[in-house]
């Protein structure tokens, strides 16, 4: 492993990795509270791709991180006025979160910010205390219909705290992959993973991009790991096995059911979805954790492919998810939420 020199101050250094996959270059670093990985072919284009990815991740962090006092969304959440003027980047991020909420019938909802604070998730997870008591009695989220966006203007019910955790990381992967392929500017391809939320752009290597679908931490149950191949589109995984802590006598996690304001209690500990964009896959995987059986029927109706892991380690496949290791995931449905969707503005 070697360190790639970066010029931007304040960023973790990219570490060059060696994989078994021939003909690609790989690097990873810490970013957005998780690990960013970039895979590029042809290998000489890696530096150009990393520069582009850095710009996108820094911009998203400044726009949508609830854990930065100086971020745009933190300023929005602290604002007393009903109307707030947004940057183009945060406007897009909030519009997609609202589109995801509409698409999932509220199973995914960006107004769960107060609920997350109630349960103690009020800072980056690496800094989170693992013990404590509930600050208030949990209550349902205000609901996505309490937020209205029109271009760069957003209105919300006073006191509503927005959290884009169910869509922002997927959006970041989409933005970074598209920016990286533009930076390469020639025949080739890019894969960007943010904590396992994967978006690809350009041409895939022969046979598709290899992606290992695993739980986090991977050691929880090696039998739940599967290798798949992705030619285009995206994969995203939502899981309750990584970000969890105690409040009072209760084990809690970061995926909130907007209907109760409490951590979701569905039957699945991990859900992975393949979709045309990572923001769509991210929203769908979160909806499966929150909605359980109800969300399974909804997912089947979308035509997307999903892989679910129950608390006992059993696995359920939905839609065209491959049975075998190395199977190809074919994404042949219209995007519902992501960058190619036309229904991102004026969502209320």
Whether residues 19 and 130 share a domain: the answer is no
Residues 6 or more apart whose CB falls under 8 angstroms from that of 314 comprise none
Residue 219 has a pLDDT of 53
Lowest mean pLDDT among 101-105, 152-156, 329-333: 329-333
Q: Is the pLDDT of residue 7 over 50?
A: no
Q: Is the pLDDT of residue 332 over 90?
A: no
| Distance, C-alpha 262 to centroid of its chain | 20
Whether residues 142 and 282 share a domain: the answer is no
Lowest mean pLDDT among 24-33, 120-129, 162-171: 120-129
Whether residues 174 and 289 share a domain: the answer is yes
> Between 320 and 244, where is the model more confident?
320
Query: Beta 234-239 vs 197-202: how paired, if at all?
Result: antiparallel
Q: What angle do CA 115, 120, 122 make, to 5 degrees?
A: 85
Whether residues 55 and 68 share a domain: the answer is no
Residue 80's domain is classified under what CATH number?
1.10.3980.10
Whether residues 75 and 116 share a domain: the answer is yes
Residue 247 has a pLDDT of 63
Strand runs (DSSP E) across the chain, as ranges? Answer: 2-4, 14-17, 25-31, 34-41, 83-85, 147-150, 153-156, 189-194, 197-202, 209-213, 226-230, 234-239, 244-247, 250-253, 256-257, 262-263, 268-275, 305-310, 315-318, 327-329
Residue 133 has a pLDDT of 56
223 is a domain residue: yes
81 neighbors 31 (Cβ within 8 angstroms): no
243 neighbors 230 (Cβ within 8 angstroms): no
* Domain residue limits at 203: 2-62+167-329
Whether residues 108 and 188 share a domain: the answer is no
42 neighbors 52 (Cβ within 8 angstroms): no
Lowest mean pLDDT among 41-45, 78-82, 159-163, 242-246: 242-246
Instruction: Encode pLDDT of 286-328 as tens digits.
Output: 999 999 999 999 999 999 999 999 999 999 999 999 999 999 9
Residue 243 has a pLDDT of 61
Q: Is the pLDDT of residue 346 over 50?
A: no
Residue 111 has a pLDDT of 97
Report how far residue 320's alpha carbon sits from residue 64's, in angstroms, rounded to the nearest whole number: 33
* 185 confidence band (pLDDT: 50, 70, 90): confident
Domain boundary among 125, 156, 187: 156
Residue 33 has a pLDDT of 87
Q: Is the pLDDT of residue 8 over 60?
A: no
What DSSP designation does 333 have? S
Whether residues 176 and 289 share a domain: the answer is yes
Residue 241 has a pLDDT of 84
Q: Is the pLDDT of residue 178 over 70?
A: yes
Whether residues 36 and 172 share a domain: the answer is yes
Q: Where are the alpha helices (DSSP H) in the chain?
A: 46-64, 72-78, 88-103, 113-118, 168-184, 278-291, 293-302
For tokens 């739940």, name the residue: 224
Q: How many domains does the chain have?
A: 2
Whether residues 16 and 141 share a domain: the answer is no
Q: Is the pLDDT of residue 42 over 70?
A: yes
Whether residues 186 and 303 share a domain: the answer is yes
Residue 137 has a pLDDT of 66
Whether residues 78 and 174 share a domain: the answer is no
Whether residues 36 and 74 share a domain: the answer is no
Region 132-155: mean pLDDT is 85
């Amino acid at each position: 492993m070697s360190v790639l020199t970066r010029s931007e101050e304040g960023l973790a250094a990219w570490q060059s990795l060696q994989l078994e996959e021939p003909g690609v270059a790989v690097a990873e670093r810490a970013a957005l509270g998780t690990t960013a990985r970039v895979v590029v072919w042809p290998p000489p284009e890696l530096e150009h791709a990393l520069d582009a990815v850095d710009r996108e991740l820094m911009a998203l962090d400044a726009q949508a991180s609830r854990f930065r006092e100086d971020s745009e969304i933190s300023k929005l959440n602290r604002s007393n006025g009903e109307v707030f003027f947004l940057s183009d980047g945060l406007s897009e991020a909030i519009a997609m979160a609202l589109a995801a909420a509409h698409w999932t019938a509220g199973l995914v909802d960006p107004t769960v910010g107060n609920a997350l604070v109630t349960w103690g998730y009020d800072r980056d997870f690496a800094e989170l205390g693992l013990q404590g008591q509930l600050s208030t009695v949990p209550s349902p989220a205000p609901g996505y219909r309490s937020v209205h966006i029109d271009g760069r203007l957003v209105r919300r019910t006073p006191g509503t705290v927005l959290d884009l955790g169910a869509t922002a990381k997927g959006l970041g992967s989409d933005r970074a992959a598209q920016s990286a392929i533009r930076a390469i500017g020639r025949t080739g391809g890019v894969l960007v993973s943010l904590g396992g939320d994967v978006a690809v752009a350009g041409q895939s290597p022969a046979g598709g991009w290899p992606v290992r679908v695993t739980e986090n931490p991977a050691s929880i149950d090696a039998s739940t790991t599967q290798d798949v191949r992705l030619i285009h589109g995206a994969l995203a995984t939502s899981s309750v096995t990584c970000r969890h802590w105690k409040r009072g006598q209760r084990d809690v996690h970061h995926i909130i059911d907007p209907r109760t304001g409490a951590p979701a209690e569905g039957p699945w500990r991990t859900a992975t979805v393949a979709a045309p964009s990572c923001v769509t896959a991210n929203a769908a995987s979160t909806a499966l954790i929150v909605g359980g059986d109800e969300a399974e029927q909804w997912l089947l109706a979308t035509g997307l492919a999903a892989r679910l892991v129950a608390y006992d380690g059993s696995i359920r496949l939905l839609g065209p998810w491959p049975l075998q290791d190395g199977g190809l995931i074919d994404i042949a449905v219209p995007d519902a939420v992501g960058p190619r969707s036309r229904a991102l503005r004026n969502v209320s």
